[in-house]
Chains A and B, each alone.
Chain A
């Protein structure tokens, strides 16, 4: 995969198979192409060579088989929290003109009840449901974004450095939340991050992307399973190994739109 102005590839010879129900963390330094990999899975970018298959089928654009939680701008600012969460089912089941049927109103009530249930699960109060996104803190916004994405029950949830903009305390809460949601819903998750501790804490499988040399694309340098449950010692050892790997890899050149 490469971006047009640079002949040098961003990603090279990536061969990745993800099983249903896995929690995969993609680790790597800034500019190594982890966000590009996520966008390839999402469908907003297309590989120059190769294919991305979901359940054995190629999907040309982002659609409801893949959920998405970006780092910022994850919520629609013109809708309340509750409307944001019910947006997915509402818009996929009722196209433009069908919103004016009585069936919509009935379904909307059911969806709102479901959404309030989700609100409770992610730790927000019903009063928060009527707020607009800009009235919430960063952590709360990301919680709502996760609930919004999970509401449509996607095959795989793609999270692009979703917690990188949060402070360490909120990050820990969010990590606990996503782990518990993953256990209860059983969704496959692909989580991109540059924080090794986060990766070891969250993932069942860690994939490390790095360049061998600065004129080649990133490859998968390491693909290991994290033991579950992971003891303190094992965690530290893993973090050490992963960080040693990042130090060995050369510093990549500036790449557009990481």
Chain B
């Protein structure tokens, strides 16, 4: 390392870049286990900071034991069967179902944003309303949603949609207006009709950016999803975490949190992959 390594002109080599980027993880994990070890020495019954063994045990239970006694398997089946009947899988499936439904409902949001950007009358009609909804804190609507739609699936999905759809609509609207006017005019001179321009020229062009925008809003989607689950649900990953909080079940909570992070990482990565495969022509600037 040269003397100027902390300055703007520094050029870290690959080894240093690799080492430095993992350092905080290593430090955090080491600190956790050190403190956990201390706490367990003072009080073997400690539940706030579980050891690895406890967490592994907790994960094993979650992944292979059913949530409630009435879900129990009559006979011990194979590993796959036990996993499929387990608490973890049940929760993951419930959460994923809600997630996928909300993702599907974002498709009309994208189409609306695109039409708003292209067709002036549609834009004028919807824009003010969407801008207003964008400003509302969706969580504050949650009680209203529960009263109006009940506390089952519909209200949770509506929460996600009301929270995230305005952002997606406005993003798509701006992306549509960012398409150079020359392209639209050119398409008309080549004989395209209005819907050809909308779907075959504009939508195709903005698609990779739209997918990116949705990917960046995944955090918001998960936030609303978890909020809904924690408050009024009988299954789902966030429900389980909220439930275990009351029993101080950190040995299951920590693995659950890590599992959620892992899932989200996989979703994000697969969206990036799909975007690259579908749109090989798109260069991210």
Contacts and interface: CB of A to CB of B under 8 A. Distances in A.
Nearest to B183: A73
Interface string A55-99: 000000111101110101110111100000001110110011000
Contact of A63 (B189, B199, B204, B281): B189
Nearest to A154: B189
Interface residues of A, number: 30
Contact of B190 (A44, A91, A96, A132): A91
Contacts of B185: 42, 44, 62, 68, 70
A66 B189 contact: yes
B195 interface: yes
B69 interface: no
Nearest to A131: B281
Nearest to B196: A91
Interface in B228-285: 279-283
A67 B207 CA distance: 27
Contacts of B193: 91, 95
Chain B contact residues: helix, strand, loop or mixed: helix
B188 interface: yes
Contact of A76 (B183, B188, B191, B195): B183
> Interface size bucket, B side?
20 to 34
Contacts of A70: 182, 185-186
A117 interface: no
A215 interface: no
Contacts of A77: 205, 281-282
Interface in B171-215: 180-183, 185-193, 195-196, 199-201, 204-205, 207
A149 interface: yes
Contacts of A76: 183, 187, 201, 204-205
Contacts of A73: 180, 182-183
A62 B183 CA distance: 12
A226 to B, nearest CB: 27
Nearest to B197: A91
A64 B193 CA distance: 10
A91 B205 contact: no
Contact of A78 (B180, B195, B196, B281): B281
A164 B204 CA distance: 29
A78 B188 contact: no
A188 interface: no
Q: Which of A73, A74, A92, A152 has the most CB of B within 10 A?
A: A73
Query: For chain A, what secondary structure do more than half of its interface residues adopt (helix, strand, loop), or is it mixed?
Result: loop
Contacts of B199: 96
A134 interface: yes
A78 B182 contact: no
Interface in A20-47: 42, 44
Contacts of B183: 73, 76
A148 interface: yes
Given A63-B189, A68-B185, A73-B182, A96 B196 contact: yes
Given A68-B186, A132-B281, A134-B283, A78 B192 contact: no
B191 A88 contact: yes
B205 A78 contact: yes
B237 to A, nearest CB: 37
A149 B185 CA distance: 12
A64 B279 CA distance: 29
Contact of A91 (B180, B187, B282): B187
B189 A149 contact: yes
A68 B205 CA distance: 20
B191 A64 contact: yes
B175 to A, nearest CB: 13
Given A68-B185, A96-B199, A87 B281 contact: no
Interface of B: 180-183, 185-193, 195-196, 199-201, 204-205, 207, 279-283
15 contacts: A64-B190, A68-B182, A68-B189, A70-B185, A73-B182, A77-B281, A78-B207, A87-B187, A91-B187, A92-B190, A92-B192, A95-B196, A96-B196, A132-B280, A148-B190
Which 5 residue pairs of A and B lie closest in terms of their CB atoms, listed nearest first? Answer: A92-B191, A88-B190, A64-B191, A73-B180, A62-B188
